[in-house]
Structure formats: structure tokens, C-alpha cells
Amino acid sequence: MGSKQSKYPKLIKKINKASNDIRQNDECPQLAKQDDQYIDRMQLFHHVIRCVSNGNFKVPLNEQLKEGGVVVLDFCCGTGTWLSEMASDFPNSTFVGIEKDSMYPEHKPKNVKIVQANVLEKFPFQDDTFDFVYSRLNFLSFSESQWKNHLIKELIRVLKPGGYLECIDHLGTDNKGPILEKFSFAIEKVLIQAGRSPSLASKFSDVIEFEPQMGKVTLTEVIVPIGSWGGELGLHIKTHMMSGLNKGIMHHLKISEKNLEKLWDDFKIEVNTHRTIWKINRYISQKN
Ligand SMILES: C[S@@+](CC[C@H](N)C(=O)[O-])C[C@H]1O[C@@H](n2cnc3c(N)ncnc32)[C@H](O)[C@@H]1O
């Protein structure tokens, strides 16, 4: 858990520099830092979500994407892995990412463009620009009021009439044992302290449908096993899932690093006994 040499020193330096330029006032020191583990975790989540979803998206645009001319926005694209895969699968369409940190690779498919910007300001795109707007695992990066009063409105503004919005995000965990109950309690405290809403995913359909330009939301729940009972996939998730939140867990449970390590060891057994799951929600809606 101590500070190790970075696997991606150049990348981390770049991220830290960019982050300093766009730092949110309400940033909480106990939230996950953008370090090696963070990048590995984002990569892992990408592969897990694609695997359990049987693909990179669910909006009904497969044929149009293949034909070409479709313009797609990946909101807060992070490492850009989703964008690069989509761009390679659909070389005749255009893929744009917006992100505050430069954590995407220098070499990317030529139909990918990354715009470095703070999404808490007006997005640097014209109205009705995109056919498809995608957002993954971004709910907990912003407060509920930032989502309701700014982000959802901007996502809709830049979407063309008839275009699709797909959001996929963390809902919570189920079949919890006592250790995960404790961890969840601490993580909830960290999020609330940072001004985030842990329950946003349970009401996001309402947030979208509140906007008169958007149609009814199709909501699907995706389930990911945590632990070796779920095979290779569950095994990976178990190791990485909450590893960025150790500081917050120690603080709110008032435990030492040594005790936390012991809890993590027991957690690895507990998730198998309880057959713990990670729940993810997918929301799809079309702009009128
Ligand atoms: C949890 S990550 C998800 C990344 C990506 N969507 C994925 O699924 O891999 C959240 C992302 O939001 C970005 N972000 C947070 N605040 C931002 C802001 N104000 N402006 C632009 N990007 C921001 C972070 O840098 C990070 O890449």
C-alpha cells in the first residue's frame, strides 16, 4: 500500500499537471487518486463491462456506425480505451472524447479526437453535434446538482434530435457480508464528504426523463460477480474494485493499515461465501 515506483511515470506526470489546471474546489483527499492503480482499474472495468454486456454499446446504431458518418462523444473518456476500440471497429465513423486529464495514449486511431476541457464549463461543441453520446462510470465524479443543473443539460444540448444517450454506471453491491457492509459504510461517508451522491444511479432515469427533450429511459441492470466464485472475471474485480479507497476506509472505520490489510484478506473469502455481486445500471434514451 506504500508509495511504489510508478509503472507509467510519464503518464502520471502528465495527468498531475493537467489535473492541477482543472482542480475541483470540493476535491476530497480520501477519494481515489489518479495513479497507476487508478489507470489499471479503469482498464479492468472497461474489459469487464464489455464482457458482461457482450459488446461496447447497446444503442441501436450498429448498422449506421458500420456504414459511417456517425459522430460519437465519449463523455469523460479517461484512458480512451472505449473510444479506440470503437474507432477501430467502425473506421468510417468519428469518435470524440472530452476529458480534463491527458491520460489517453499519444497514438490513436485517426478517427479519434480528444478534446481536453473541463466539463463543468460549457462543452466546447455546437448544439446538435453528436448522434450518440456515451458516459461510463462518471456519476460519482460529480455532485448531484452538477449532474442535474449542468451536465445532463450539456449532454442533451450537444446530442442531435433523434440521437441516443447511453449511460452506464455503478449502482451498488449486493449479497454483502459484514466486511463489505463496513467498507460500504466508509465509502458512502467518503462520497458524501466529497459532495457526491451515492444514490444517484438509483434515480438517474428520473434525471434524464425530467428533461423535456428526452424520451423514456430503457433501464437494464448488469451484474458482475465479485470473487473467485465468478471465475476469472470475479477474481480480477475482487482485487481491484475498491483499492483506491483505502485511505477513506481507514479514516472512517478508524483502523490501521495493518488491520485494513487483514480485512481485505478476509474480504476475499467473504465474497465467495456470500456470492457478492456488483450491480451496474445502463440507461438508454433518445432525444426527441
Ligand atoms: C471514473 S473515470 C471514468 C473514465 C471513463 N469514462 C471510463 O469509463 O474509463 C472519471 C473520469 O472523469 C474525468 N473528469 C473528472 N472531472 C472532470 C472535469 N471536471 N472535466 C473533465 N473530465 C473530468 C476524470 O479525469 C476521469 O477520467
Residue 264 belongs to a domain: no
Please report, for residues 135, 212, 218, 222, 284, the alpha-carbon distance to residue 169 in angstroms, rounded to integers and kept in the order given.
8, 22, 14, 10, 12
Residue 191 belongs to a domain: no
What residues contact residue 82 under an 8 Å CB cut-off, 6+ apart? 46, 56, 74, 134, 136
Top-ranked range on mean pLDDT: pick from 19-23, 76-80, 101-105, 261-265? 76-80
Nearest to residue 65, comparing CAs of 97, 91, 98?
91
Residue 249 belongs to a domain: no
How many Å apart are CA 103 and CA 8, to the nearest integer? Answer: 10
**Total number of residues shown for the chain:** 288
Q: Which three cell numbers stand for residue 279?
A: 450491480
Per residue in 41-93, pLDDT (tens digit) is: 888 889 989 999 999 999 999 999 999 999 999 999 999 999 999 999 999 99
Q: What percent of the chain shows pLDDT beyond 70? A: 86
Parallel, antiparallel, or unpaired: how do β-strands 71-75 and 277-286 relate? unpaired
How many Å apart are CA 115 and CA 102, to the nearest integer? Answer: 9
**pLDDT class for 199, splitting at 50, 70, 90?**
very high
Q: Which ligand 1 atom minimizes the distance to the CA of 140?
A: 1
Task: Residue 128: give the domain boundaries.
Answer: 9-175+197-227+279-286
Element (H, E) at 16: helix 9-21
Residue 234 belongs to a domain: no
Please give the pLDDT value at position 146: 98
Among 43, 84, 138, name the best residue to mutate to test ligand 1's pocket (greatest count of ligand atoms within 8 A of Cβ). 138
Among 134, 141, 143, name the best residue to mutate to test ligand 1's pocket (greatest count of ligand atoms within 8 A of Cβ). 141
Residue 261 belongs to a domain: no
Please give the pLDDT value at position 5: 62
Residue 192 belongs to a domain: no
- Residues having CB closer than 6 A to ligand 1 are 22, 42, 46, 76-78, 99-101, 118-120, 136-138, 141
Per residue in 120-169, pLDDT (tens digit) is: 999 999 999 999 999 999 999 999 999 999 999 999 999 999 999 999 99
The predicted model scores a pTM of: 0.90
Angle value at C-alpha 111, between 107 and 117, nearest 5 degrees: 75
Residue 123 is classified by DSSP as P
275 CA distance to ligand 1 middle (Å):
30
Count of beta carbons in the 10 Å neighbourhood of residue 240: 16
Residue 164 belongs to a domain: yes
Q: What is the CATH number of the domain that holds 54?
A: 3.40.50.150
Nearest to residue 104, comparing CAs of 236, 240, 10, 6?
10
**pLDDT class for 13, splitting at 50, 70, 90?**
low
Give the chain's domain count.
1
Residue 160 belongs to a domain: yes
Residue 271, SS3? helix
